Amino acid sequence: MKKRTLGRSGIEIAPLVFGGNVFGWTVDQARSFELLDRFVERGFNAIDTADMYASWAPGLSGGESETVIGQWLARSGRRDEIVLMTKIGLLEQHKGLSAANIEVAVENSLKRLGTDHIDVLFAHIDDAQVPLEETLSAFNRLVKAGKVRTLGASNYSAERFQLALDVSREQGLARYEVMQPRYNLHDRQDFESGLAALAQESEIGVVSFFALASGFLTGKYRSIDDIQGNARADFLASYFTERGERVLQELLSVADELSARPAQVALAWLLTRPALTAPIASATSLTQLDELLDAVTLPLPEPLLARLNEASRGSV
C-alpha cells in the first residue's frame, strides 16, 4: 500500500486513519484489540485518539481510549509499526494550551499509552487565551526532549494556523506539520475556503475528522424519521436540509452504480481531494472495518466524481 507523508515530518501513513474515539466507549477491550489487529494486518498504521475520549459518556472521565490503545500496544508488541496520534487541550482536568497544562497532559497521555513518545501530538482546539508563543514553546520542548516526533493542530482557523506557522518560523520553534479539520462530502466550505490552500502552500499534512458526518454519509439514515431515538439525533437532524438530502441521494446513487457502500464512496471521494493526506474513520465491528478499509482501493471514475462534486457544491 502506498503511504503518504505528513507535511515535512518524514512520517508516512497509510491513507486511512483509525479513529480511536470508540475504544473504551462503544467498543470494549476485547473487540478493540480485534479491530486494531485487523487494521494493522491489512497494512494500515495510523491511529488517532485524544486524552478526552470518552469523557462525554456517562460514567467515563476521559483517557479510556488511550488506555485501551496502550494495552493493545503492550500486548501486540507493535509500537514501532504504529503512527500514534493523540490530542490534548479539551480534557476538563487539564483544559487549555498553557505550558503547565501541556506538560501534565502529555505526561498523562504517555503513561496511559504505555510509550515514551507520541508520533503526532495535536492541540485539540485553539486556545486564544494563551499566547501562541507559550503554547508553541512548550510543544517545542517536548519535541526536543524526544517525547513528541511532530506537532499538529485541530479545529484551527486558517488565520490562526498561519499565525502559528509565522510564530514558529520567527522564533525557531518546531512548527505544526499536520492539521486536523472537519471535512467530508457534505462539510466542505470551512476547509476548502482557506485551510486547503494553506496546507498545500505550506506543505502541511491533513487528516480530517467527521469523514462520514457522524453517520449521515453511511446511508443508514435515509430520512429524518430514521434518526429518532439516536443518541446523535439533534446533530444528525442538521444534515437533513435540501442540500443535505441532495448530497445523500447522489451518494446513494453513485454507491449503487459502483456496487459499493455509501461510506466507501464518501471515503473514496475524500481520497481524491488534493490537499488531504488521509481521513479518520471509526468502526465497531470487523465487517464494518473491512468495508471502510476497502474504500482505499475503490475506483471513483471522473463522471461519478463530478456528480458528487456538483451535488455537494455550496455550504447550505
Residues 6+ apart with CB under 8 A from 114: 70, 71, 73, 74
Report the distance separating Cα 253 and Cα 259, nearest Å. 10
What total of structural domains would you count in the chain? Answer: 1
46 three-state secondary structure: strand
Helix, strand, coil percentages in the chain from 3-state DSSP, rounded to 5: 50, 15, 35
Scored b (16 or more CB within 10 A) or e, 183-216 reads: bbbbbbebbeebbbebbeebebbbbbbbbbbbbb
Place of cell 456496487: 259
Segment 56-111, tens digit of pLDDT: 999 999 999 999 999 999 999 999 999 999 999 999 999 999 999 999 999 999 99
DSSP tally for the chain: helices H, then strands E: 12, 10
305 vs 288: CA distance, rounded Å: 23
Type of residue at 184: N
- 260 within a domain of the structure (yes/no): no
Residue 267 located in a structural domain? no
Handedness of CA 183, 185, 189, 191 (dihedral sign): positive
Q: Residue 138 falls within a domain, yes or no? A: yes
Distance CA 234, CA 83 (A): 34
Domain membership flag for residue 249: no
If phi over 0 gives left and psi between -120 and 50 gives alpha, with beta otherwise, what is residue 9?
Answer: alpha
Question: Would the pLDDT of 193 be above 80?
Answer: yes
Q: How many CB atoms lie within 10 A of CB 79?
A: 17
Domain assignment present for 174: yes
Note the pLDDT tens digit of each residue in 249-294: 999 999 999 999 999 999 999 999 999 999 999 999 999 999 999 9
Residue 176 known to be catalytic: no
Whether 273 is covered by a domain: the verdict is no
- Domain containing 170: what range? 4-180
Residue 312 DSSP SS3: coil
> Taking the alpha carbons of 196, 87, 2, 270 in that order, is the dihedral positive or negative?
negative
pLDDT exceeds 60 at position 200? yes
User: Using an 8 Å Cβ cutoff, are 164 and 156 in contact?
Assistant: yes
**Which of 32-41, 88-97, 224-233, 277-286 shows the lowest mean pLDDT across its residues?**
224-233
CA pair distance 111, 126, nearest whole angstrom: 24
Whether 167 is in a domain gets the answer yes
SS3 38: helix
Look up residue 175 and give its DSSP letter: P
Q: What is the mean pLDDT of the chain?
A: 95
Active-site annotation holder among 53, 176, 221, 239: 53
Q: Is residue 99 part of a domain?
A: yes
Task: For residue 118, give the CATH number of its domain.
Answer: 3.20.20.100
